[in-house]
Amino acid sequence: MKGVRMWVPLLLFAGFCGLAAYQLTQPKDEFIESTMIGEPVPDFNLRPAIETRPGVALADLKDGRAKLLNIWASWCVPCIAEAPQLEALQRQGVPIVGIAIRDKPEDVARFLANYGNPYTRIGADDLSEVQLSIGSSGVPETFVVNGDGVITYQHIGDIRAEHVPLLLQELAEAGA
């Protein structure tokens, strides 16, 4: 009996090491999800990021139509990767409102000339204030906002082709 009990601490220690080793091999979840899902977008008013599109204010989100709110920037490389998907969504009639983070008008214009402009409006968020107010932690991120200005879904990272059906479904549920 005593011989068996002697091994208990070692077994416990080995079990702990095993657990730690297992956790180390697990892929880390780097995404910081917004806790604003189901909450209304706080009030804001952003100047236009380029001349050819108007800026964005909260009232523009509350026009009764569900839409995509795309947080992006011209200096963001994955934003180039998601451009074709945004274009496809726009062609299907989805209203897409853009918020450009820390960006200059000339850089925004160059990006849109190169990769297409799927946006109805683009606001310039020079101090990341709107981004912080909706719990977004990077670019690109895409929020589904319903016609009352309430966030119903958050997509973190670039939109790939396989994400489009889910976004369309979320938009339909939000009442597009």
Would you tell me which residues interact with another protein (CB under 8 A)?
30, 32-36, 73, 75, 102-104, 107, 126-129, 131-135, 137-138
Nearer to another protein, 114 or 169 (CB): 114
Q: Which long-range contacts (CB under 8 A, 24 or more apart) does 53-59 make?
A: 53/98, 53/117, 53/119, 53/120, 53/121, 53/122, 54/121, 55/121, 55/122, 55/123, 55/124, 56/97, 56/98, 56/99, 56/121, 56/122, 56/123, 57/123, 58/149
Residue 15 CB, nearest approach to another protein (Å):
16
Q: How far is CA 5 from CA 2, 16, 18, 19, in A?
A: 5, 18, 20, 22
Please tell me the distance from the alpha carbon of residue 23 to that of residue 17, in angstroms, as a whole number: 10
Nearer to another protein, 82 or 95 (CB): 82
Which of 61, 166, 89 has its CA nearest to residue 155?
166
Residue 154 CB, nearest approach to another protein (Å):
11
Nearer to another protein, 95 or 111 (CB): 111
Residue 30 CB, nearest approach to another protein (Å):
8
Residue 92 CB, nearest approach to another protein (Å):
30
Nearer to another protein, 50 or 176 (CB): 50
Residue 128 CB, nearest approach to another protein (Å):
4
Nearer to another protein, 136 or 146 (CB): 136
